[in-house]
Amino acid sequence: MSEITIRKRGKYWEYSFEGARIEGKRKRISKSGFRTKAEASAAGIKAKAEFNEAGLHFVPSEISFNDFLDYWMETYCKANLKQVTICNYEKKLRLHIKPELGQYKLKALTAPVLQQFINRKAGQNYSRNTLSVIKGILTGSLKYAVKQNMIRYSPMVNVTLPSPRNEQFKPRTAPHVFIPPKKIKEILAGFPEGTSTHIPMMLGYKCGLRIGEAFAGTWDDVNFEKHTYTVNRQIQWNEWEKVWYFSAPKYDSYRTIDLDDETADLLKREKIRQERAIKYYAEHYTHLYVNDKRQLNAAGNGNKISLISVQENGTFIHPRTMQHTAQIVHQRMQYPEFDFHSLRHPYVKPTTKNKFSIKTETLNYQLI
């Protein structure tokens, strides 16, 4: 077992000790800022005691919680969970759990450590849904560790989410941004027909589509005779496998939307443009496919798909292009409130005046 090292750094004293190995590499835990050597030593002894066994009467294994989570993801999650769930878990692990808990040894995690972690996240005003997912990941992974005989019991058994009624843990809520018609006209004029994000933004503005839905549309979703657009899917990025994939719309909100003449005519012109481009580029045109994991690819794996959101040569225009668009709107157009979601609200406001149900049925907000 490593010893606590005390040393002076500048004006202050620091303690450090070796934590669990992460990916085979040593990881040292340290803290500085103590005025005296004695203060640093006392704090180091306390921190190491809490970090190590926390009252357990057996020797903890050397596996870090970071490495165990990778093991859990590979052996359990990928074999049992949907891809959209795996991607959501991976994001929460990367942004929230691993940075704060990954350095602990698996068998050194305790209920107080985990409860304090949950309370800190709640104190940062994350949404109730985000907190529930984080807690679910911790509960599920540690329950799996018990089944694998890696720990004797799960320290998450008695860990709870703080009450939402507590003002200290009030979830963050972003205000709805209603873009005035004049500003919408200016924004769309800045990204006219033929630019990468024009059609997705029009679908957000005119049809109330979410960003993942607006970039996932295919020509099979458009009925030009009936002037309708059917939302059948959304597209998301799998950070784990570095690939775009399709999933059900958020909240399983499959729906059919009436198109106005302006949007229908825009889509007709785009379809004609793509048909001409396919002939022009011939064998050099990029055709897109969807494999059995619903992953988008240009390698010919799976069934061919005709996406609306493509470049002239057929390559996919993905949702991340909106980051550049938003940056231009924020800086050059001096409208920092803009994001893709704000495009949906002008659609809601005139459509739902005295018709509350349209907002929930057409746009499929889960909670109002």
The answer on 110 and 205 residing in a single domain is no
Pairing of strands 5-9, 12-18: antiparallel
**Cα–Cα distance measured from residue 141 to residue 195, given in angstroms and rounded to the nearest whole number:** 45
Task: Indicate the burial class of 243 (C-beta count within 10 angstroms; 0-12, 13-18, 19 or more).
Answer: middle
The answer on 32 and 76 residing in a single domain is no
Is 78 within the bounds of a domain?
Answer: yes
Positions of E strands within 88-227? 222-223
- The whole-model pTM stands at 0.65
Range of the domain at 160: 65-169
The answer on 140 and 278 residing in a single domain is no
**Cα–Cα distance measured from residue 360 to residue 358, given in angstroms and rounded to the nearest whole number:** 5
> Per the structure, how many domains does the chain have?
3
**Cα–Cα distance measured from residue 102 to residue 21, given in angstroms and rounded to the nearest whole number:** 10
The answer on 28 and 146 residing in a single domain is no
Is 176 within the bounds of a domain?
Answer: no
Residue from 167, 141, 162, 142 nearest 152 by CA:
142
**Cα–Cα distance measured from residue 125 to residue 137, given in angstroms and rounded to the nearest whole number:** 19
The answer on 298 and 200 residing in a single domain is yes
Is 368 within the bounds of a domain?
Answer: no
Is 288 within the bounds of a domain?
Answer: yes
The answer on 188 and 322 residing in a single domain is yes
The answer on 163 and 91 residing in a single domain is yes
pLDDT of residue 61: 58
The one-letter amino acid at 218: T
The answer on 211 and 109 residing in a single domain is no
pLDDT of residue 170: 64
pLDDT of residue 204: 95
| Chosen domain end from 169, 197, 219 | 169
| Chosen domain end from 118, 146, 169 | 169
Task: Indicate the burial class of 321 (C-beta count within 10 angstroms; 0-12, 13-18, 19 or more).
Answer: middle
Give the burial string for 33-67 (b: 16+ CB within 10 Å, else e).
Answer: ebeeeeebeebbeebbeebbbbeeeeebeebbbbb
Is 192 within the bounds of a domain?
Answer: yes
Query: CA torsion 195→200→205→208, rounded to 10°?
Result: 180
Give 45-48's long-range contacts (Cβ < 8 A, gap of 24+).
Answer: 45/4, 47/15, 47/17, 48/4, 48/17
The answer on 185 and 303 residing in a single domain is yes
Domain with 89 in it: what CATH number?
A: 1.10.150.130
Give the SS3 label for residue 45.
helix
The answer on 142 and 193 residing in a single domain is no
Is 113 within the bounds of a domain?
Answer: yes
The answer on 333 and 190 residing in a single domain is yes
Q: Give pLDDT tens digits along the chain (368 positions).
A: 468 899 998 888 999 888 777 767 777 888 888 889 999 998 888 888 777 655 443 344 578 999 999 999 999 998 999 888 898 999 999 999 999 999 999 988 999 999 999 999 998 888 888 999 999 999 999 999 999 888 989 999 999 998 877 766 666 666 667 888 899 999 999 999 999 999 999 999 999 999 999 999 999 999 999 999 999 999 999 877 889 999 999 888 999 999 999 999 999 999 999 999 999 999 999 999 999 999 999 999 999 999 999 999 999 999 999 999 999 999 999 999 999 999 986 544 443 333 333 444 445 544 33
The answer on 322 and 267 residing in a single domain is yes
**Cα–Cα distance measured from residue 59 to residue 69, given in angstroms and rounded to the nearest whole number:** 20
pLDDT of residue 171: 61
Tell me which DSSP letter residue 173 carries. Answer: -
Q: Are 321 and 154 in contact (CB under 8 A)?
A: no
Is 57 within the bounds of a domain?
Answer: no
**Cα–Cα distance measured from residue 143 to residue 44, given in angstroms and rounded to the nearest whole number:** 31
